[in-house]
Amino acid sequence: MTQQQRPAVKPVPIPTPETDFYWEKCQQHELWVRKCNDCNQAYFYPRDICPDCFSRNTAWVQCSGKGTLHTFGIVVRPPHRGWAEDVPFVVAMVDLEEGCRMPTNLVEVEADLNNPGEHIRVGMLVEVVWEDRTDKVSLPMFKPA
């Protein structure tokens, strides 16, 4: 079988020591973010230093998995051959109830290129769902609540 005949596989994130806890919790279908104990700001992506006040006094907090759609875009040209059969799909920024914003995909919604506002609206309530990309990597995505 040649490389062109093999089914394309979507890339997976590579955990680092700073993000291991996050990916372990995602594998258990739990969404966690970091929160600064000094300025009380939750933030994403997971890192040990607060991006707002630069404190290292941070902790992990479990999220409700609920949020609001901040913005979105419909992808029509796959960024990698692994997504060739998925286009069109929706990339989004979601404001989590915990106070931070995260990039994600909006799933279980029609990506209508001619009338995207018919099924997707900025400000709509969303909730987390999980894509088990491998037996060790699960990705948080969001669907309309």
Mean pLDDT for the chain overall: 92
93: its two tokens = 């920024």
pLDDT at 1 over 60: no
Give how far the C-alpha of residue 131 lies from the chain's centroid of Cα atoms, to the nearest Å. 10
The model's pLDDT over 45-103, given as tens digits with 9 standing for 90+, comes to 999 999 999 999 999 999 999 999 999 999 999 988 988 988 899 999 999 999 999 99
What is the number of other CB atoms lying within 10 angstroms of the CB of residue 52? 13
* pLDDT attached to residue 11: 87
Strands 138-144 and 89-96, by their bridges, are unpaired
Tens of pLDDT, residues 100-131: 999 999 999 988 777 777 889 999 999 999 99
pTM confidence score: 0.88
pLDDT at residue 115, rounded to an integer: 77
Q: How far apart are CA 98 and CA 43, in angstroms?
A: 9
What pLDDT was estimated at residue 45? 93
Q: Which long-range contacts (CB under 8 A, 24 or more apart) does 81-86 make?
A: 81/8, 82/8, 82/9, 82/10, 82/11, 83/10, 84/8
